[in-house]
Structure formats: C-alpha cells, structure tokens
Amino acid sequence: MENNSNKEQWVRDVMNSTSGMQKASPGEGLLANVMAQLDNAPTTRIIRFPVKQWAAAAILLLALNVGSVIYFTNRSSNQEKTNTGNPLAAEMQLNATYNY
Amino acid sequence: MAHYQQQVFNTAISLVQDHGMAEDIAQEVFITVYRSIAGFNEKASLSTWLYRIAVNKCLDHLRSKTRQKRSGIFTSLFHKDTGEIMFEPADFQHPGIQLEHKENARYLFAAIQVLPENQKTVFVLAHIEDLPQKEIAEIMNISVKAVESLLQRAKANLRKKLESYYDRRKKD
C-alpha cells in the first residue's frame, strides 16, 4: 500500500518536473553561423531562355524547309513534264538540265 | 529575433535531446526560413510556421538517428519490443529545468524519448513550450480533438513507462 503511494508520488513528481522550467537558449553564434552559411552558399545563375532568338531561328528554318519543298516539288514536276514530253529521253534515262 | 531563436532551439533540444544536434537544427530552420520566406502564408502566424519547420526537421533527424540505431551504431536504453527503460536514463539534462527537478526530469525526458512521434511532439509543445491546443493543432495540421487525444495517450504512456521502471528498480 505504502509502496503504491510512493510510486504514485514519484511518478507525479517526475511528470511535474518541467514546472517552472525556463526556455533554453542557443549559443550566441547561431545567427552569425546562419549568415555565414547563407553567404557561402553557392549562388545559382539564372539562365534565361533566349525566346526571341529561338523564335527567329525557328521561323528561318521553317521558311527554308517550305522553300525547299516548293522548289523540289516544282523541279520534279518539270522533270516529269520533260520525261512525258519525250519518251526517248526517259528511255535514255536523260535528266533535264536546269540552268542554275 | 532572439525570441524566435529561443523558441526554435528550445523545441529542438526538447525533441532531439542533444545540444549539438539542436543547434544544427536551429541553424537549418533559419536557413530554410530565409530561403522560403517568399512562400510564407501570412494567414498563419510566423511563430506557428517556425514551429512547424522546427518540428519537421527534428522528426527527420530523429528518424535518421533511428535508422542508424537499427543498424547497430547506438545501443538502445530501452527494451526493443516493450519500449521499457532497461538501464539508467541517458544523461540528457535540459538546461532550462530548475535545479530541484533535475534528477526527476532526467527520467521524464528518457521516457519522452521513447514515445511515438506524434505523442512526443504534442507533449513537448503542450508541456514544455506551453502552447494552447489550438496552436498545436495548426502546427501539426491536425484537429484540436486529435491533439487532445494524443496528449492523453502520451501522458498515459509516460505514466505506464515510469511505473514499470519504478517497479523494476524496487525489485533490483
């Protein structure tokens, strides 16, 4: 019986041992350490995507592609015409000569 | 600033129970705050936000310490299955404890150390940081009811651990 009451008292004392406690403070160098770490942190360079240059390059490429498609389409249709116009040329496997 | 330093450090040292680790965590917290202050939601108070970051960092450190312990680097002071105190408690002394309570507080902190994460956090915030349950709920992102229930379970578990330690000490 007495043992139980001693136990309860001890548990109560332990549970209440934080009463009146103060807050712990860090060492004085905490803020200085934080600032030093921030200063030493590697800086990240933000590389902006050159939108205008890329757009100009894309338009130029597109124009070149379209131009070459038109050019070669015309060329093959001319060749076809030549070939149809002269069956012998086809037989002789002659290609039309273009004056570049 | 000094107030916030104390708030973060006191929470950290109570949760991780290691002065050096608490200093490291406090530094990490302020670096995180400095880098992400732009994303700070002004609806929450700065203090709540700081507590949230500090608690998360402490739990991360404790988890990694547990992983190390599992791999056999540290020897547990507690029984692996029952969580009961096997040896005299670790020599952690919270610097803010009053002199006459120092001995008893060692047992309390040893028992706090083996509580489940959530119960430990709630107990430290309620009894060491003296925060109201509403603020604890905001920090932990849970309901006030859940805080209340966790706190009750934490106290019950602490009592159970201390009682069983007392009985075993009497037997020895």
> CB B162 to CB A22 under 8 A?
no
Nearest CA distance, B71 vs chain A (angstrom): 31
Contacts for B86 with CB less than 8 Å, ≥ 6 apart: B76, B77, B78, B79
Residue of B114, B93, B118 whose CA lies nearest to B161: B114
Expressed in angstroms, the distance from the first to the final Cα of chain B is: 49
A56 C-beta neighbours (distance < 10 Å), count: 11
More confident residue, A29 or A85: A29
Listed in sequence order, the residues at least 6 apart from A3 whose beta carbon sits closer than 8 Å to its beta carbon are B170
Asked whether residue A56 carries a pLDDT value surpassing 60, the answer given is yes
Window from A7-16, B31-40, B67-76, B108-117 with minimum mean pLDDT: B67-76
Q: Do B101 and A19 touch (CB under 8 A)?
A: yes
What's the rounded Cα separation, in Å, for the pair B7 and B97?
15
* Interface contact flag, A17 B95, Cβ < 8 Å: no
What does the pLDDT read at residue A4?
A: 81
The candidate with the shortest Cα–Cα distance to B31, out of A39, A9, A93, is: A39
Q: Does A26 touch chain B (CB under 8 A)?
A: yes
Q: Long-range CB contacts (< 8 A, 24+ apart) of B57-60?
A: B57/B12, B57/B25, B57/B28, B57/B29, B57/B32, B58/B11, B58/B12, B58/B15, B58/B16, B58/B25, B59/B15, B59/B117, B59/B121
- At the top level of CATH, the class of B75-172 is mainly alpha
pLDDT, mean of residues B130-137: 96
Residues whose CB is less than 8 angstroms from the CB of residue B146 and which lie 6 or more positions away in sequence, other chains included: B137
Assigned token pair, A16: 């209440």
Is any Cβ of chain A less than 8 angstroms from the Cβ of B98?
yes
Gap from A54 CA to chain B (nearest CA, Å): 32
pLDDT digits (tens, 9 = 90+) for B106-128: 999 999 999 999 999 999 999 99
CA A27 to chain B, closest CA, distance in angstroms equals: 8
Chain B partners within 8 Å of A37 (Cβ): 27, 31
With H, G, I as helix, E, B as strand and everything else as coil, classify residue A49.
Answer: coil
Q: What is the pTM of this model?
A: 0.70
What gap in Å lies between CA B50 and CA B14, rounded to an integer?
15
**Does B1-74 carry CATH code 1.10.1740.10?**
yes
- Mean pLDDT, to the nearest integer, of B69-73? 56
**Nearest chain A Cα to B105, which residue?**
A17
- Residue A11 in contact with partner chain B when CB distance is under 8 A: yes
pLDDT tens column, A13-50: 999 999 999 999 988 888 888 888 888 876 666 677 78
Per domain, the residue ranges of chain B are 1-74, 75-172
| Cα gap B61→B55, rounded to integer Å | 10
Distances (CA, A) of B125 to A33, A59, A71, B34, B48: 26, 62, 78, 24, 11
